[in-house]
Amino acid sequence: MSINKDYSSFEVRQERFVFHEFVNDHGNLFGGNAMKRMDEVAYIAATRYTGQRVVTVSVERVKYLLAIPLGSIVKVRTEILSVGPVKLVINAEIWLDVNKEPGSLKAVEGKFIFAAVDDAGNPKRLISTGRG
């Protein structure tokens, strides 16, 4: 099966609340928790796109643009940037709700690179199932 070039139907969005257990002593979301949320949503996009078992192989250019305070509602969004024979690059962003405007300020961004693996964890070629 050939790789689908229209990535738009594979974008994933998820809204989350920032609870006490996810913040640091300044009352802001820990950077590691932000990355975890982005990786999880990017993983959903990667598995939906390929229909295969995938793993995160690297994270690039993570930028923390704004502090995300306790009690915030954030939206994690992903977009598939490129697909090659062995890797899939997904942009992930966290948007912060401000003044009751959903996703009005970008707080964090980064690129997540995934590769498909077989049941033994060995790399394999990527395919698109066309699932959305």
CB 95 within 8 A of CB 31: no
**CA 97 to CA 66: how far, in whole Å?**
12
Residues 6+ apart with CB under 8 A from 82: 88, 89
pLDDT given at position 80:
93
Domains present along the chain, CATH in parentheses: 8-124 (3.10.129.10)
Place of tokens 């790399």: 123
**pLDDT tens, position by position, 83-107:** 988 899 999 999 998 776 666 899 9
Average pLDDT for 101-130: 85
pLDDT given at position 101:
67
pLDDT given at position 127:
73
**pLDDT tens, position by position, 5-54:** 666 667 788 899 999 999 999 999 999 999 999 999 999 999 999 889 99
pTM of the model: 0.86
CA distances 53 to 1, 57, 72, 86, 112, Å, are: 16, 13, 32, 12, 15
